[in-house]
Amino acid sequence: MNNYINALREHNLKATPQRLAIADILHTKGHIAIEPLYEVMLKKFSSISLATIYKNINLMVANSFIQEVKIPHAKSLYELTKDAHSHLLCQKCGEVTDITVDLNSVISSASQKSQFKIEKLDLVLSGLCKNCQ
């Protein structure tokens, strides 16, 4: 099942074909940058404009339907909002994969030290994947 019509509406986004396609692509790819997303979208919508991509991505981020992932030395990626997770970057092949690590102790220790009320963590672990080692 792969129907994002309601998910979009729950985020106050009209369910247009272009947006449904973006949701599908993010679902399939996990995360993707603007230009590659545009390339894929062109296959389905031969006259889609980059402006439409930007407008939708910005609105989807603003409405928390998707999230931006900032990667060291690379363009930002975008992914569907889901449970908290971190990202692994292979410094050689550039692949980015999701990983879930327990960060509770980090949060509590950082809260204590800083007296911040911490709401979220953005963590990217960089190194060499199994293949590239």
Partner DNA sequence: CTGGGTGCAAAGTATTTGCATGAAC
Partner DNA sequence: GTTCATGCAAATACTTTGCACCCAG
Q: Which residues bind DNA (CB under 7 A)?
A: 5, 8-9, 13-19, 34-35, 45, 47-52, 54-56, 58-59, 75-76
User: Can you tell me which of 2, 46, 73, 83 binds a copy of itself, judged by CB under 8 A?
Assistant: 73
User: Can you tell me which of 40, 71, 80, 81 binds a copy of itself, judged by CB under 8 A?
Assistant: 71
**What's the rounded Cα separation, in Å, for the pair 95 and 45?**
27
Which residues make Cβ contacts (< 8 Å) with residue 61, sequence separation at least 6?
67, 68, 78
**What's the rounded Cα separation, in Å, for the pair 11 and 127?**
35
User: Maximum Cα–Cα distance for the chain, whole Å?
Assistant: 53
Q: Does 84 bind a copy of itself (CB under 8 A)?
A: no
Least separation in angstroms between CB 68 and a copy of itself: 7
Least separation in angstroms between CB 132 and DNA: 24
